[in-house]
Structures are given as C-alpha cells and as structure tokens.
C-alpha cells in the first residue's frame, strides 16, 4: 500500500532520477512619464514577467550510496545532491504601477 510519502524507483543513477533546470525567466516592461506644469510628473508603467516558483520550493538533500561487497572490507562510495521538492510551475505575472511626483 502506497501512502504517497515515497516513490519506489529502480533507476540507480542520479542523472536519470533528477532533472536539472536552468530557467532564468523573461521580463518585458514599458513606461511613460508626463510632465504637468514645471514641477509635477505623472508616470505609468506596465510589465509582464514569465517566471517560476523555484524561490518558494523547499530543498531536500539526498545521499546515493553504493556498496561493493566483493572485497573485504566493503568499499562504499556516495554522492550527495540537494534538490527542490514540491510542484514546480512557470507562470505569467502582470503588473501595472503609477506614480505622481511633485518637485516643488
């Protein structure tokens, strides 16, 4: 009976059990500023980000251990990796901002 806490996987090397992600995201931004009289400025800015939630994910460290019992004493080798857990998601984020500045 599987309680969802672990996954039984027969793959034995790290490269086939994990996926490396190198996503930096993109950002497009455009703005406009208007001068009202000589000391007042009004601006509006619109932006669109394509980003992910990797900064919100929790990290877990795994240790992969191999034991060679054909020799005495047994030889042990291990690799330790840190991975991000939880569902990974990419999404669009939109933002509109305005500003009124008075330089009097």
Specify the DSSP element, H or E, that contains 14.
helix 14-17
Evaluate if residue 5 carries a pLDDT over 60: no
pLDDT of residue 18: 65
pLDDT digits (tens, 9 = 90+) for 28-86: 999 999 998 888 999 999 999 998 888 788 888 878 788 888 888 888 888 887 777 77
Cis peptide before 93 (omega within 30 of 0): no
Q: Model's pTM, two decimal places?
A: 0.50
pLDDT of residue 2: 38
pLDDT of residue 12: 62
Evaluate if residue 15 carries a pLDDT over 90: no
Cα–Cα distance, 5 to 7 (Å, whole number): 7
pLDDT of residue 4: 37
pLDDT of residue 77: 84
Chain position carrying tokens 């009004």? 42
């Amino acid at each position: 009976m599987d309680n969802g806490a672990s996954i039984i996987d027969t793959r034995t090397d790290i490269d086939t059990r994990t996926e490396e992600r190198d996503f930096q995201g993109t950002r497009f931004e455009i703005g406009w500023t208007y001068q009202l009289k000589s000391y007042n400025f009004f601006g509006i800015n619109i932006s669109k980000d394509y980003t992910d939630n990797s900064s919100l994910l929790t990290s877990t460290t795994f240790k992969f251990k191999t034991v060679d019992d054909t020799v005495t004493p047994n030889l042990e080798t291990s690799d330790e990796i840190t991975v991000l857990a939880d569902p990974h998601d990419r999404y669009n984020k939109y933002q509109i901002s305005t500003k009124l500045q008075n330089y009097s």
